[in-house]
Copies of this chain bind each other. A is one copy, B any other.
Amino acid sequence: MSDVAKLAGVSTATVSRTLQNPETVKEETRQKVFKAIKALDYMPNVLARQLRRMETKTILVVVPNIENNVFSQIVGGIDAVANERGYKVLLGNTNHRVEKIYDYIDHFKQRQVDGMIVLLSNLPDPVLQDLANEFPIVVTPDAKATVEVSTVTLDNVESGKRATDHLLKLGHRRIAHISGTLDITSSQDRLQGYQQAIVEGGYFVDHTLIKEGDFTFSSGFEAMSALLNTSVPPTAVFCASDEMAMGAIKSIKSRGLKVPDDIAVVGFDNIKFSEVFEPTLTTMAQPLFQMGKKAMTVLIERINNEALEEQHFIYQAELIVRESCGVIFR
């Protein structure tokens, strides 16, 4: 920077000003400085700027598993807004090991990041609360209502309800549910929506028709197998993830039964392969990319102190009707 100042015949302060507040520098001087910058191919040292400003223009995204398409889609949305607004995205993979997040928390204390977006951490409430009180944080897409922190979530109750409603409308009465791991709110809510739909439809919830899975293909397969082993198997299943829905369908097929003719299936997520799978999957599509964008936008507001109160944004899932639930394609 001093080289630039020398070449332009001004002080380093003027160079700095030209870069930070060009309007406070006389047009003529500004030109001289820019010319010197070009001539020397000068780039400011961001490290020094960061130290001076105590900000990094970097945000941390804590994700359980980047290889999971649901998360990578959200990260895609975050990244889009981050780029647009001049922020860098630091990736923190926890590999589902909660302890790892404590390493990332240190980044805050060391001022290495200006804010943080937490994707589905099973962080204990008090820890998260303390952190949220002190630093800009946004939680998505699964957040507990017990913590005061900004969130971007899906209306999982309504989504579960609509998925189940769809099956009810198709005439099904014995509808099973294969849930996600019930330690996370989304799973609980989807289950609740499922139950609400049944009750509001005027029927009774049969708890033997509810199985807990863990979002994976194999857990869907096994849960469905268990359901098929009962004396009166269901005629339809609502699964809390597309992967589990595919597992369930594989199980149904392995018994020589057909989807949707014998058993109708609705999934959740609308992953890429839900339209490649046979039968193509009826599913609830989450606007993951949008949610990622929103999370980043909200975070920036908090970083800039534009939003003092915590905010909650709730998105609706869209029912995508394909072959696995019958009717339309029959």
Contacts and interface: CB of A to CB of B under 8 A. Distances in A.
30 contacts: A43-B106, A43-B109, A43-B110, A44-B110, A45-B110, A46-B111, A47-B47, A47-B50, A47-B51, A47-B54, A47-B112, A50-B50, A51-B51, A58-B90, A66-B66, A66-B72, A66-B76, A66-B79, A67-B69, A67-B72, A67-B76, A72-B72, A76-B93, A80-B93, A88-B112, A89-B91, A217-B276, A273-B273, A276-B277, A278-B278
A73 interface: yes
A154 B107 CA distance: 35
A211 interface: no
Contacts of A293: none
A302 interface: no
Contacts of A12: none
A76 B96 CA distance: 13
Most buried by B among A43, A44, A51, A67: A67
A261 to B, nearest CB: 17
Interface string A79-116: 11001000011110101000010010011011110000
A152 B87 CA distance: 29
Nearest to A68: B72
A75 interface: yes
A61 to B, nearest CB: 8
A89 B175 CA distance: 45
Contacts of A47: 47, 50-51, 54, 56, 110-112
Interface in A195-220: 217
Interface string A264-297: 0000000001001110000000000000000000
A56 B47 CA distance: 8
Contacts of A90: 58, 88-91
Listed from nearest, the 8 A-B pairs whose CB atoms lie closest are: A46-B110, A47-B51, A79-B93, A43-B109, A91-B91, A273-B273, A67-B72, A47-B50
A317 interface: no
A161 interface: no
B67 A73 contact: yes
A246 interface: yes
A237 to B, nearest CB: 17
A50 B50 CA distance: 10
A48 interface: yes
A162 interface: no
A250 interface: yes
A191 B195 CA distance: 54
Interface in A230-277: 246, 250, 273, 276-277
A246 B44 CA distance: 50
Contacts of A109: 43
A91 B59 CA distance: 11
A284 to B, nearest CB: 19
Contacts of A72: 66-67, 69, 72
Contacts of A91: 75, 79, 89-91
Contacts of A65: 76
